[in-house]
Chains A and B, each alone.
Chain A
Amino acid sequence: MVTTAPSRVHLAPTRRVAPWRDVRLRGIAAQVITVGTVAAVVIYCAHNAIVNLEQRGIATGFAFLRREAAFEISSTLIDYSPASTYGRALAVGILNTLLVSFLGIVLTTIFGTLLGIARLSSNWLVQRVTGWYIEIMRNTPLLLQLIVWWDLLRVSAPLPREAFKPLPGVFISNRGLNLPIPVWQPVYLWMLAALVAGALATAVVAQRMHRRQELTGKQFPLVWTGVALILGPPLLLFLLAGAPLQLEMPVLQGFNFVGGESVTPEFAALLFGLVAYTSAFVAEIVRSGILSVSKGQTEAASALGLKPNWTLRLVVLPQAVRVIVPPMTSEYLSLTKNSSLAVYIGFPDFVSIANTEANQTGQVIEVIAILMAVYLTISLTISVLMNFYNRYVALVER
């Protein structure tokens, strides 16, 4: 057996490493220098900014958020008037941005996925037409597309007096889409609760039935049961309460409609424009996701006797989804950020309102800081949510 003999008697003394040659110290020095330079630049800019702001008599700090806004906002989700504060105006803007982004994401996912699947259609015409749609949407600037949508909706729509009336109470004019909205009844709250309860019940039943299928092989008509559980009780409550439905109708007063719910052409243009544009990119992502699932998978599934529908659902789509999720996340973020183009077509989103405030108060730095902070929060939230989903569907690998 080999023994390791003790180290030799005369060990060369470890020389102290000269500090400027030590790799670790060099690393620290590099960091200090970098941080120092960045800090110096920041301080220089800050100093200039303070001097310049003083000269122009512009205040600093966030106190302006409590001042009166004194400007009107055309589309608001919450109550707002020109007497409200700047802070409230920003809140309106944030809500508008979130609304457009959320609806945009949902609609884009649906439309984009359909487009992507259509792009792979065996119908030559369908394939070509969707192909051309995608190419045109992807190769023209979004701003241009938004302008086109906006002009289309405003110019081609009739005046309020001659509004198009597809259904009683529904008016389409160049002021936008005006809809009747139901007046809130107390029973609606119970119906909402019943809806949520039904959804939870469906989830529980689904889990039980899956377990039952695993044990006994018996299948369960989950879809129909789910529909019944979710929609049944609320409907029942509605009928029991005497079917209370009172609609607030939009009425033409002067040049505009009063009452009911309105969807401005700006909002519609922004939403449709964003969805049409982003769907083209989503379609490509979905298409390459489906194609990325190797042919062998489909063939193996067919060999096992699975019908094409089941193959798609159980074999191809789950694997395709894994490939699709990360780039899809980018597209969602992209859509959220692109909603900022609303400022050009006059939809009061967050950027648009922030811009107005910056111009009115001159407090550019504070406003932009708020702007960036809010967008960063939104982006981070979407990324984190998608990351969870990604991990949930990730393949467990060796």
Chain B
Amino acid sequence: MASIPGTAPQAADQSMIEFRGVHKWYGDFHVLKDINLVVRRGERVVVCGPSGSGKSTMIRCINRLEEHQKGQILVDGIELTSDAKHVEAIRREVGMVFQQFNLFPHLTVLENLTLAPIWVRKMPKKEAEELAMQLLARVKIPEQAKKYPGQLSGGQQQRVAIARSLCMRPQVMLFDEPTSALDPEMIKEVLDVMIELAQEGMTMICVTHEMGFARTVADSMIFMDGGQIVEVAPPKEFFANPKNDRTKLFLSQILSH
């Protein structure tokens, strides 16, 4: 279970991601307020909350797409600082899937997947291509390898994006609202891939509104509001018995329709 430090004993070497007293400001706006969090290896965490609550910002701090001003972030024991080598090492181990897919439109699907392994992990081309084909098969679209992203549907593109991150053999996968930009009929295919990934034991932090998915997959639910972590609980408890009033309000809003 994702825990707030100090509430339960845990082995330090099992922690994958740690936030210690993390604060972030955009100018005067205090967007992350004292975030404390430990995510252990193999845990699946779903983060939810109203828009502007800082959930995307929090996970983007993990791979340094955003910089935090105060506190510490550790990924697999490596601290995230302005040390270039640390940042590089962390980005190799952390994969990210974006809401807007962000596939490289001028490269084929296969090239999208093999670009980073070849140039960052220094894999020989053949090996990278074999790995890429394996992963494409896993997300169930091996036949699209030679196509360009513009020729694929949204659901297919997002699955390619997931495969692209997996090609780097990351230890953690971050998902930033992966299905929010998809037409409803394509959400399921992407969620299925994510569920499979979770069942294989990948450590995941997922920002999403898909509560069905959360109930199936998550080990912990985190509710964020106004830049703070308001509530942490396993899904059963979270949905049935939210302790905080803000959590109750939020759940009532999104579960009503």
Residues of A near any B CB (own CB < 8 A): 1-2, 4-8, 11-12, 14-15, 17-18, 21-24, 26
Contact = CB atoms under 8 A, between A and B. Distances in A.
Interface string B17-59: 0001100000000000010100000000000000000000000
Contacts of A17: 81-83, 86
Interface stretch (B2-10, B122-130, B155-163, B187-195): B2-10
Given A1-B244, A7-B21, 13 more contacts: A2-B229, A2-B231, A2-B243, A4-B36, A5-B5, A5-B7, A7-B6, A7-B20, A8-B20, A14-B72, A18-B83, A21-B84, A23-B82
Interface in B159-189: none
B116 interface: no
Contact of B79 (A1, A12, A26): A12
Contact of A5 (B36, B83, B85, B244): B36
Nearest to A3: B4
A23 B83 contact: yes
A242 to B, nearest CB: 71
Given A1-B244, A12-B74, A6 B84 contact: no
A1 B21 CA distance: 18
Interface residues of B, number: 24
Interface string B70-99: 001010000101111111000000000000
B131 interface: no
A7 B231 CA distance: 17
A23 B87 contact: yes
Nearest to A5: B6
A24 B82 contact: yes
Nearest to A2: B231
B232 interface: yes
A7 B244 contact: no
B230 interface: yes
Nearest to B67: A23
Contacts of B243: 1-2
B1 to A, nearest CB: 14
B222 to A, nearest CB: 10
Nearest to A18: B83
11 contacts: A2-B4, A2-B244, A4-B4, A4-B229, A5-B5, A14-B72, A14-B81, A21-B86, A22-B83, A22-B84, A23-B82
B6 A22 contact: no
A385 B122 CA distance: 54
B7 A14 contact: no
Contacts of B87: 23
Contact of A26 (B7, B81, B84, B232): B84
A15 B77 CA distance: 12
The 8 lowest CB-CB distance pairs between A and B, nearest first, are A5-B6, A17-B83, A23-B82, A8-B5, A21-B85, A21-B83, A21-B84, A23-B84
A7 B86 CA distance: 23
Given A14-B79, A23-B84, A4 B34 contact: yes
Nearest to B38: A8
Contacts of A14: 72, 79, 81
A28 to B, nearest CB: 12
Nearest to B74: A12
Contacts of A12: 74, 79
A15 B4 contact: no
B85 A2 contact: no
A18 B85 CA distance: 10
Contacts of B5: 5, 7-8
Given A5-B36, A6-B6, A7-B5, A15 B232 contact: no
